[in-house]
Structure 1
Amino acid sequence: MAKSERFHAYVLHKRPYRETSMLVDFFTLEQGRMSAVAKGARGNVKSDRKSLLQGFQKSELDLSGRSNLKNLGKIEASGVAFSLNEKALYCGFYLNEILSRALPDGEPFEDLFANYEHTLLQLSSVKSNELRSLEPILREFELSLLHTMGYLPDFEHDCESEKPIQADYAYYFDAASGFVQTHPANKLAIMGIDILEMTKGEYFDDDKQSVRRAAKIVCRAALRHLIGDKPIKSRELFLLT
């Protein structure tokens, strides 16, 4: 029997497996995304394993096995779970979904793990339930994910001419290559000033709506390039509220 190893982790996704077990995808500090069988997690057992396999709860757990699909051993809470309400909860589901689809198996991303925790803290601290208060937090994490995975574009140069981005020029974002100059009438055109201000995190200011729009266009296109065209289910939750 393979020796078990201890990990610090969050649950990203879980689904039923056989009669009483679950397949669980974890985001671990030590090895990135890992999948495991949680035996008896759906059964009528007296252990608290089922309650610990919840989203936004940091845990310490033991995983064993030689294949990519591990076996979950001991699991215990490591700190208080982040409390997310209403739209912030949907944002949390969104983070978990894009991580599940973007992360390869068994590769550590310690900085991204720290950013994920920081993002959950931000979401749990937001007092307003308005999406405009939550979107900048999502953009910041999306950009962090894109940077980690090598999909963040060059915000300083036109990818065709290689000339510096000009504040008063309009650009189109091609996820496969970067920004290219376009006509301002293009419905997806982004002004150069907004591209330059994205690098400063200016999308957090309420009066920077054009920068927020630019960040949304860039992140959506780049994420689609990273995780594919399959619809993101958690986005549909926002349409129901």
Structure 2
Amino acid sequence: MALKRFSDEPAFVLHRYDWSETSLVLEVFTRNHGRIALVAKGVKRPTSQFRPVLLPLQPLHLSWSGDAEVRTLKAAHWQGGHVMPTGEALISGSYLNELLMRLLARDDPHERLFDHFTTAVQLLAEKSDAQQLVLRAFELLLLRDIGLLPDLAHESSTLTELDPEQRYVLGQESGLSPAQEGDSQALTGEQWLDLQSAMDQPAPFIPTLRACAACLQALRLPLRNLLHYHCGVRVFKTRQLMLDVQAMTRQRPPTGLDADVPSEPQPTPTAP
């Protein structure tokens, strides 16, 4: 029986593992096949044509064969369009990779989510001052695409439409519910409705990005708590990496993964 072959599939490398002295197993996110595993044979050799191409946060075209859990990589080409994010943006991009690794099952296609990820990586590479907005927009669209975000136009328990003048909080299990007085993580009904409307657009990333701008600080903790809950972790590895960098340099850069305590402006550290 002939092996299945797939050619020129848009993809990103999310993670990689040692396979042997010369080979790697790659976890990749593809547009039409979802997250899959590929073995890249001989990629560690200095003469390998794959060596300078198979980098994270780079748009690629991949070809592979096989129908087992781990397929065999046959070709890889850089798609072009932007350079790899660097510094803080590289850690932010690695955080997006970690979310996809934790939340996406293998062989489960998410074409729209792939397009959102492509936009997010491009913006991280080109707009270093918009990292927090990019991360919040992607978190919302990721949770919505995989069915973990409640409808933001209605109270979750009663299914009644939100009152634009009232304030609501997003809970891990309860969804949207009326806020208590003084709740710093609450948004007005109008803000939640704007976010839902933005995500309902045919090309939602940029509208969602703009909608996040008005409620950035209040969104950060509810989304983080929701992601921790569904991923089953206390802290993401990439966030811990940023905290470790800050501890070593005694600096607190205002990135999308930064802690919630305000600080004085400091020079931006270089990602390790």
After superposition, where does 1:170-189 map in structure 2 within 5 Å?
A: 170-186=167-183, 188-189=185-186
In structure 1, C-alpha distance between the alignment counterparts of 2:242 and 2:46, rounded to whole Å: 35
The answer to whether the 8 Å contact 1:153/1:177 transfers is: no
Name which of 22, 29, 45 aligns with 1:27. Answer: 29
Q: Provide the residue aligned with 1:8 in structure 2.
A: 10
Q: Provide the residue aligned with 2:149 in structure 1.
A: 152
Q: Provide the residue aligned with 1:95 in structure 2.
A: 96
Q: Provide the residue aligned with 2:193 in structure 1.
A: 196
Q: How many residues align?
A: 232
Q: Provide the residue aligned with 1:238 in structure 2.
A: 242
Worse-superposed segment, 46-55 or 172-181: 172-181
- Following superposition, the deviation at residue 230 of structure 1 comes to 5.3
CA 1:41–1:170 in 2, change beyond 3 Å: closer, same or farther?
same
Identity of aligned residues (%): 28
Residue 36 in 1 paired to residue 49 in 2? no
The answer to whether the 8 Å contact 2:195/2:212 transfers is: no
- Following superposition, the deviation at residue 160 of structure 1 comes to 2.3
- Following superposition, the deviation at residue 19 of structure 1 comes to 1.9
- Following superposition, the deviation at residue 188 of structure 1 comes to 4.6
Alignment RMSD: 2.3
The answer to whether the 8 Å contact 1:10/1:56 transfers is: yes
* Aligned residue type for 1:174: G
In structure 1, C-alpha distance between the alignment counterparts of 2:111 and 2:228, rounded to whole Å: 23
The answer to whether the 8 Å contact 1:198/1:215 transfers is: no
Residue 18 in 1 paired to residue 20 in 2? yes
The answer to whether the 8 Å contact 1:8/1:29 transfers is: yes
After superposition, where does 1:16-165 map in structure 2 within 5 Å?
A: 16-42=18-44, 44-80=45-81, 82-128=83-129, 133-165=130-162
CA 1:41–1:230 in 2, change beyond 3 Å: closer, same or farther?
farther
TM-score by length of 2: 0.76
* Aligned residue type for 1:24: L
* Aligned residue type for 2:227: L
In structure 2, C-alpha distance between the alignment counterparts of 1:65 and 1:102, rounded to whole Å: 24
Q: Provide the residue aligned with 2:230 in structure 1.
A: 226
**SS of 1:105 mapped into structure 2:** coil
In structure 2, C-alpha distance between the alignment counterparts of 1:136 and 1:220, rounded to whole Å: 14
**SS of 2:51 mapped into structure 1:** helix
